[in-house]
Amino acid sequence: MVSVQTLKGFRDIPPELAFKRGRAVALLKSVFKSFGFEPLETPTLEYADLLEGKYGGEEKLIYKFKDRGGRSVALRYDLTVPLARFVAQNKGNLTFPFKRYQVGDAFRAENPQAGRYREFTQVDYDTVGADTALSDAEIIAITASALEILNVKDFTILINDRALFGDLPKKAVQILDKWEKIGVEGVKKELAAAGLDAAEILRQSRDKKPTPRLEKIFNLLKSYGIEEKSWKFDPLLARGLDYYTGMIFEVKVTGYNGSVAGGGRYDKLISKVAGVDLPAVGSSFGLDRLMEIIPAETFADIPFRPKVLVTVFSPDLLDDTISIFDQIQGMGIDAELYLEPQAKLDKQLKYADRKSIPFALIYGPEEKAKGLVTLKSLAKKSQQTIGLTDLPKLLN
Amino acid sequence: MVSVQTLKGFRDIPPELAFKRGRAVALLKSVFKSFGFEPLETPTLEYADLLEGKYGGEEKLIYKFKDRGGRSVALRYDLTVPLARFVAQNKGNLTFPFKRYQVGDAFRAENPQAGRYREFTQVDYDTVGADTALSDAEIIAITASALEILNVKDFTILINDRALFGDLPKKAVQILDKWEKIGVEGVKKELAAAGLDAAEILRQSRDKKPTPRLEKIFNLLKSYGIEEKSWKFDPLLARGLDYYTGMIFEVKVTGYNGSVAGGGRYDKLISKVAGVDLPAVGSSFGLDRLMEIIPAETFADIPFRPKVLVTVFSPDLLDDTISIFDQIQGMGIDAELYLEPQAKLDKQLKYADRKSIPFALIYGPEEKAKGLVTLKSLAKKSQQTIGLTDLPKLLN
């Protein structure tokens, strides 16, 4: 019995969503490019030992297996550790600061939940080899520009500095990071259970003031023209991953639970991976989450489906009809040619209707005699006979 | 000891190549869209039994393993079998003919050779649910349009029909497919070794005439305006995969060994995968091979690197400099801001030079006093002081 189904936690991305994701990614790439960032692609599979020891307690979620050559390999768990590997391997040929973006899938054997998949798309952008407030601020500025180009409003970038937790035990930071999930009472309970002074830790953390580095970053954000209402200092922001060393941030969107982007400075990761000391700062959008909050207007300018179905009136007229189809494409109009020349016109129009193609073009013997075509609006249930050159203006 | 290297047969795609691949894929997608094709994305992992029994003797090359839940899973081997699975699973919700494209990586544990990887990118486009000469011709027409938009000249589409091999044993067809690899003498030898009458098989095959279906397809290609020199009937074209049932084709490019695209009709595959009888025709570009033959002009209109490096004359002027950077981006110009405000100007200019960024912008106290900026051409080693609004015309 063959499994005609996707694996648990994996899914197909159907055409309309795939199209919108493609548009969103193209817009994001245009922002990265406008800041001088370059694309990089790393493989889906890596040696398992590269990934091991990098993700703390989550390590058991790595998709790991032995390949036919007996190598211990793993599906990538994120795009950051492979970046560190790439930089270590190619440092002699790279110009630093090296700024790259990557859109790619990562794999985690998590318990699938609503909106949480075992294969998911990350959009990463990182600067390697610069350790300045400006490089920190740039990553945040790119994040804001990306949200703006996607028309995402009402976002807040929460910013903190890991240095502010310098005197807290690691365990306490990990518990503080659960704030949103388990609430203040949950955090208090877990801190106490870990033998820590919950009241004192919360009080201390709440009262922290921005570090001098954060003050610099905040000033730079103003120079980038980012509205002050779009970001704020959050002394309780912790972020889960162990590897952050400086500025950290997360993006919240009003009405959406959880964060849609997050990142920070991780100056020791590359050295941990590869023994090469290179400071780095970066961030990542979760594409699935992002798709849930991008407003429809972002996808309105380029429609998903063709504007017009070119019907085939009869097999005798097929050659002329193809030539008309060809001319329409030449006008830069996305069109579709009906593929069964024998089918009744009615069936063809129903096809256009089911696919929400707004117009149908008909070319029969009468149209041929006149050198014209008939354009039918399926929405308005109206039609008119026109010259082909009038098509562009009538389709809009 | 951590493995700071890619796995055998896997590779990183460095920035410039990644950028060009992205451009090529965007152009290909625009062609698919202009014919009414829709994007679809299927997962990287599938149940192993879906893939098993579909690829003949190559089956041992499937990356197969047990996941933590004990399921037998596999990295996808191509994009066609997953398409068949998707269609079978969603047939109630799809409108047929269903035309989709997919750009995705496939995985095969082959012995790596020059230009042959274990993870490689396929660009597939298929029509499911139509069995007409027109749907066959459309797939070929899309192939020709795709090559044209990429400026690939001197291509020949070799076309044949599997029906012409109807009276030959399967083994003979597989041997004929090796024509290019092993030459006519090799084919004769292998046919003889298989106990077949080599001379007779070759004579019979060479003398075949196009089937009536092929004749129809050829006429339609003319209607699509495809130049007659761009395609030809090749009675010896066999194609390796077992699942083809009708028209088959391959694209050769002058001076390039091997084919860059190929496809055909496979009317029984979906029924084999899923017990649903749906005719299908499709084709695939190998992106790696394609990248080797696309001429440089295809990538000339949008440069890989930013046009201008915005230098930071001194930390004091950083805020103003960021604001200038911001205005340049607002003009739609890809720019890069130098991230170390303390660095000497000379170091910053060297950075631009190493990255082949053609212009550097300088904003020091003198420029500030005049409300102007200095634009330095690194190629011409010349500079001029200008108003910011003059930038767009000077950068071209």
| Least Cα separation, residue A63 to chain B (angstroms) | 7
Across residues A359-379, what is the average pLDDT? Answer: 96
Summarised one tens digit per residue, pLDDT across range B239-269 is: 866 789 999 999 999 988 889 999 999 999 9
A205: pLDDT confidence band, cut at 50, 70 and 90?
confident
Closest CB to A322: pick one of B42, B67, B224: B224
The token pair that represents A44 in the structure block: 């889906």
A59: pLDDT confidence band, cut at 50, 70 and 90?
confident
Cβ of B36 and A86 within 8 Å?
no
Contact A123, B382 (CB under 8 A): no
Summarised one tens digit per residue, pLDDT across range A227-283 is: 999 999 999 898 866 789 999 999 999 988 889 999 999 999 989 887 889 999 999
Cβ of A49 and B318 within 8 Å?
no
Summarised one tens digit per residue, pLDDT across range B326-362 is: 999 999 999 999 999 999 999 999 999 999 999 999 9
CA distance to A43, B262, B290, per residue, from B142 (Å): 29, 12, 15
Residue B229 sits in the same domain as residue B358: no
Residue A259 sits in the same domain as residue A317: no
Residue B175 sits in the same domain as residue B320: no
Minimum mean pLDDT range among A5-14, A150-159, A197-206: A197-206
Summarised one tens digit per residue, pLDDT across range A160-187 is: 999 998 778 878 888 888 877 788 889 8
| Least Cα separation, residue B345 to chain A (angstroms) | 16
What pLDDT shows up at residue A114? 74
Domain with residue B45: its CATH number is 3.30.930.10
Residue A314 sits in the same domain as residue A279: no
A15: pLDDT confidence band, cut at 50, 70 and 90?
very high
Contact residues, A window 336-365, toward B, CB-based 8 Å cutoff: 336-337, 339-342, 351, 354-355
The continuous run of DSSP H or E covering A242 comes out as: none
Whether B21 maps to a domain, the answer reads yes
Summarised one tens digit per residue, pLDDT across range A188-204 is: 999 899 888 888 888 88
Query: Considering B278, B299, B320, which residue would you say is the last residue of a domain?
Result: B299
Cβ of A15 and B26 within 8 Å?
no
Cβ of A38 and B26 within 8 Å?
no
* Number of domains, chain A: 2
The token pair that represents B236 in the structure block: 């010896």
Which residue positions of B form the known binding site? 78-80, 108, 122, 126, 239, 243-244
Query: Considering A260, A275, A298, which residue would you say is the last residue of a domain?
Result: A298
For residue A377, pLDDT beyond 90: yes
Cβ of B69 and A8 within 8 Å?
yes
Residue B364 sits in the same domain as residue B294: no
> What SS3 string covers chain B?
CCCCCCCCCCCCECHHHHHHHHHHHHHHHHHHHHCCCEECECCCEEEHHHHCCCCHHHHHHCCEEECCCCCEEEECCCCHHHHHHHHHHHHHHCCCCEEEEEEEEEECCCCCECCECCEEEEEEEEEECCCCHHHHHHHHHHHHHHHHHCCCCCEEEEEEEHHHHCCCCHHHHHHHCCHHHHHHHHHHHHHHHCCCCHHHHHHHHHCCCCCHHHHHHHHHHHHCCCCHHHEEECCCCCCCCCCCCCEEEEEEECCCCCEEEEEEECCCHHHHHHCCCCCEEEEEEEHHHHHHHCCHHHHCCCCCCCCEEECCCCHHHHHHHHHHHHHHHHCCCCEEECCCCCCCHHHHHHHHHHCCCCEEEECCHHHHHHCCEEEEECCCCEEEEECHHHHHHHCC
What pLDDT shows up at residue A173? 82
Phi-psi label, residue B121: left if phi above 0, alpha if psi -120 to 50, beta otherwise? beta
Closest CB to A351: pick one of B2, B14, B95: B95
Contact residues, A window 33-52, toward B, CB-based 8 Å cutoff: 33-36, 38-47, 49-50
Q: Nearest 10 degrees: CA dihedral of B79, B85, B89, B95?
A: 50
Closest CB to A336: pick one of B1, B35, B354: B35
Residue A187 sits in the same domain as residue A284: yes
Stretches where chain B sits below pLDDT 70 are 1, 240-241
Contact A309, A352 (CB under 8 A): yes
- What is the distance between the alpha carbons of residues B330 and A396, in angstroms, rounded to a whole number? 28
ipTM score of the complex?
0.94
A355: pLDDT confidence band, cut at 50, 70 and 90?
very high
Other Cβ atoms less than 10 A from the Cβ of A143: the count is 27
Residue A192 sits in the same domain as residue A258: yes
Whether B203 maps to a domain, the answer reads yes
Summarised one tens digit per residue, pLDDT across range A113-154 is: 777 899 999 999 999 999 999 999 999 999 999 999 999 999
A24: pLDDT confidence band, cut at 50, 70 and 90?
very high
What pLDDT shows up at residue A30? 96
Query: Considering B299, B328, B360, which residue would you say is the last residue of a domain?
Result: B299
For residue A1, pLDDT beyond 60: no
What pLDDT shows up at residue A229? 95
| Least Cα separation, residue B257 to chain A (angstroms) | 26
Contact A159, A211 (CB under 8 A): no
Residue B250 sits in the same domain as residue B114: yes
Which residues in chain A are closer than 8 Å to B21, comparing Cβ atoms? Answer: 41
What pLDDT shows up at residue B1? 55
Domain with residue A370: its CATH number is 3.40.50.800
Structural domain harbouring B21: 15-299
Whether B140 maps to a domain, the answer reads yes
